[in-house]
Amino acid sequence: MKSTDSTIPLEKLLEHLPENYTVAERELVERAYQVAEEAHQTQKRHSGEPYIYHCVAVADILSELKVPSEVVAAGLLHDTVEDTDITLADIRRDFGDTIASLVDGVTKLTHLPRVSRGDQHAENGDNGHEEEPIAPALLGRKEDIVAETLRKTFLAMGEDVRVMFIKLADRLHNMRTLSHMPEHKRRRIAQETLDIFAPVANRLGIWQIKWELEDLGFRYVNPEKYKEIAELLTEKRPDREAQLEDIKKNLVKLLAQNNIKAEVSGRPKHIYSIYKKMQKKDKAFDMVRDVRAVRLIVPDIPSCYAALGVIHTTWRPIPGEFDDYIAAPKDNNYQSLHTAVSYDDKRPLEVQIRTQEMHLNAEYGIAAHWQYKEGSKHADKNYEKLINSLRSKMEWGSDVQDANEFVESLRSDVFQDRVYIFTPRGDIIDLPSGATPIDFAYQVHTDIGHRCRGARVNGKLVPLYQGLKTGDRVEILTAKRGGPSRDWLNPNLGLVRTQRARSKIRVWFKKQEDEQNLAQGRDILERELQRLGLSEINFEKMARELNYKTPDEMFIELGNGDLSVNKVIKQFSQHEEVEEIFEVGPSTTPTTSTNAIEVVGLKGMLTTMARCCNPMPGDPVVGFITRGRGATIHRQDCPNILQTRDRERLLQVGW
């Protein structure tokens, strides 16, 4: 982002507003400033600056993103409801529903549960607060509060993505001024920035915010390595800049000779991206530093490919370094051609080729394309797919009961590197790197995933554990009916690697078990009611009395053994006291010699015939120890015996 001054006056902010703002829109921003300034007039930041400087800085960052005036105004007001006497009703009355909704969204993010907020207030004791870490050591911790906070943060993002514009701007300014925070908080906030907010900016395509958050976060998380790379970059900067000037001149001349108009610029290197490349490719800094990078801006898409052809015929392409993100855009709608060639001095030259529109998309992402109508939340059609994709992931997260599972899904399905796979019809499916054909199948449709039995990749049968690569064309072979295999959930087999697919598979098996338990539970209850001569039972009432929402829930727990049929009967049988499920015989008279039951190793034990299955002489039987009444004799295939969890109470018996 261009402005890094933490003390931007109102006049500067008004100068930075997009040129297409109307007079009314500029007046709206100025009015929001006046309200915010008065509301925060007694509050200061940790730096000692008036709190309003932070609000103006947030609004200035938003104005650079070219967002609508309502979003800039909401940026000025984003802390008023949280930290001053102004209410949401006041905001709605003075500024309308749209701005009130945005301020409310940011306030709700601030109200999420925190691990520690004991030192949140400004040093002078006033109410202005500076952003605290949502959670320490994010994505490595498994505390419920951390996971739940993350889930709610991203669900809020799914409701209105403009709230995240404000939150990202808020976080960026807080990172720019992080040196004023107590030392023990800096690393936690910086780690959270790297783990959550920088990836969110990337997913929204806001590269300008993404790279600055990464570099600032890295500066506090790993200050030694940050300083080392920064010093090395500074040391060689004059030579590198001179080399780039020569490269740019050569490229402009070469392209002009081929009738291609192009704007050529050096592509800045960012410290965190250099560090990640060193890690990913296991390279020393010198090898990474020596890679020069340029960007070509051309008039249209045909010119992109024409420029690529000229470059590839002039210099030798480096194998494995070409990516066509025009034909297959990234998940955040990023488009460019990427290549690397061996330049005249045999050192690598990275080249990005894009149109001006693609460049704006890459710099500002969805924010640059946000069009608005009065009272609406509308992005242009090129970005509706991205918004729907993000919302679908967030809505899926709201169905996940375990918050930690949702955190894992963010890590594996949202923030990982992506691959772009083609369906047989040519549609593009976006998946995390390392995804398998089964992951692909579940991404296309849940039912296709359940019935997946094989896959062809680029026309060839492949094992289901094979990782997919960008550009692969995948055809899923399905059965007419059936479901997934439990082996798919075995992590050692590597068949499924996305959290989405794992969750869908678990849900399928739980549903199958529930259906089986439902049928068995209903059968158990109906047979017991029939045995007792009870009829015309209102199962709806029975379920409600036992605190179940539906009879099916009650039947499922009867079937899996979590609920005793005896408890159900006792609740509703007023004319008969029903005994424990296995203590069903009223008689304590020993059996006659013709029906004699012998308990192996225990002569003379009292035995009683179970009424639930009415064992007859010659039937295969088993004994169940009852409390104070010897053993109840059941048929071995009695459902009550088959489902009992008290296997240690079973006895071997015989006629």
Q: How many CB atoms lie within 10 A of CB 286?
A: 9
Higher pLDDT, 395 or 518: 518
**Number of H-type helices and E-type strands within the chain:** 27, 17
Q: How far is CA 194 from the centre of its chain?
A: 15
Q: How far is CA 91 from the centre of its chain?
A: 31
Position 276, amino acid: K
Q: Could you identify the residue written with the tokens 């002078």?
A: 124
What's the pTM? 0.57
Query: What pLDDT does residue 585 have?
Result: 40
| Phi-psi sector, 46: left (phi>0), alpha (psi -120 to 50), beta | alpha
pLDDT surpasses 50 at 578: no
Q: Mind listing the pLDDT tens digit for each residue in 475-510? A: 999 998 888 988 898 877 889 988 889 888 888 888
> For residues 182 and 167, is the Cβ–Cβ distance under 8 A?
no
Averaged pLDDT, 597-619 = 72
**What is the distance between the alpha carbons of residues 427 and 474, in angstroms, rounded to a whole number?**
11
pLDDT surpasses 90 at 337: yes
Query: What pLDDT does residue 107 have?
Result: 81
**What is the distance between the alpha carbons of residues 402 and 379, in angstroms, rounded to a whole number?**
32
pLDDT surpasses 80 at 369: no
Of the pLDDT bands very low, low, confident and very high (cuts 50, 70, 90), residue 311 is very high
Of the pLDDT bands very low, low, confident and very high (cuts 50, 70, 90), residue 591 is very low
**What is the distance between the alpha carbons of residues 292 and 306, in angstroms, rounded to a whole number?**
22
Going by C-alpha positions, the residue among 422, 412, 462, 464 that lies closest to residue 327 is: 422
Which residues in 539-569 are b (16+ Cβ under 10 Å) and which e?
Answer: beebbeebebeebbbbbbbbbbbebebbebb
Question: What structural domains and CATH numbers belong to the chain?
Answer: 10-221 (1.10.3210.10), 232-368 (3.30.460.10), 433-494 (3.10.20.30), 508-572 (no CATH), 593-654 (no CATH)
Q: Could you say which of 82, 148, 526, 553 is catalytic?
A: 82
Query: What pLDDT does residue 106 have?
Result: 86
Where do the H-state alpha helices sit in 79-222? 80-83, 88-95, 97-110, 144-159, 161-176, 183-192, 198-203, 207-221
Averaged pLDDT, 385-395 = 53
**What is the distance between the alpha carbons of residues 17 and 20, in angstroms, rounded to a whole number?**
8
> For residues 652 and 622, is the Cβ–Cβ distance under 8 A?
yes
Higher pLDDT, 613 or 440: 440
Averaged pLDDT, 122-137 = 43
> For residues 487 and 495, is the Cβ–Cβ distance under 8 A?
yes
Structure token pair of residue 144: 């419920």
pLDDT surpasses 80 at 331: no
> For residues 382 and 476, is the Cβ–Cβ distance under 8 A?
no
Catalytic residue status for 83:
yes
> For residues 117 and 107, is the Cβ–Cβ distance under 8 A?
no
Eight-class DSSP state of 42: T
**What is the distance between the alpha carbons of residues 263 and 298, in angstroms, rounded to a whole number?**
7
Catalytic residue status for 214:
no
Q: Could you say which of 79, 83, 363, 430 is catalytic?
A: 83
- The mean predicted confidence, pLDDT, of the chain is 77
Task: Output Rg (C-alpha) for the chain, integer angstroms.
Answer: 33
Going by C-alpha positions, the residue among 222, 215, 233, 303 that lies closest to residue 1 is: 215
Query: What pLDDT does residue 58 have?
Result: 94
Q: Mind listing the pLDDT tens digit for each residue in 560-575? A: 777 877 777 766 654 3
- For residue 473, the SS3 value is strand
**What is the distance between the alpha carbons of residues 206 and 332, in angstroms, rounded to a whole number?**
9
Q: How many CB atoms lie within 10 A of CB 275?
A: 20
Averaged pLDDT, 70-88 = 92
Higher pLDDT, 119 or 145: 145
Q: Mind listing the pLDDT tens digit for each residue in 255-294? A: 999 999 999 988 777 888 888 877 766 666 555 555 678 9
Of the pLDDT bands very low, low, confident and very high (cuts 50, 70, 90), residue 521 is confident
**What is the distance between the alpha carbons of residues 288 and 277, in angstroms, rounded to a whole number?**
7
Query: What pLDDT does residue 594 have?
Result: 40
- For residue 84, the SS3 value is coil
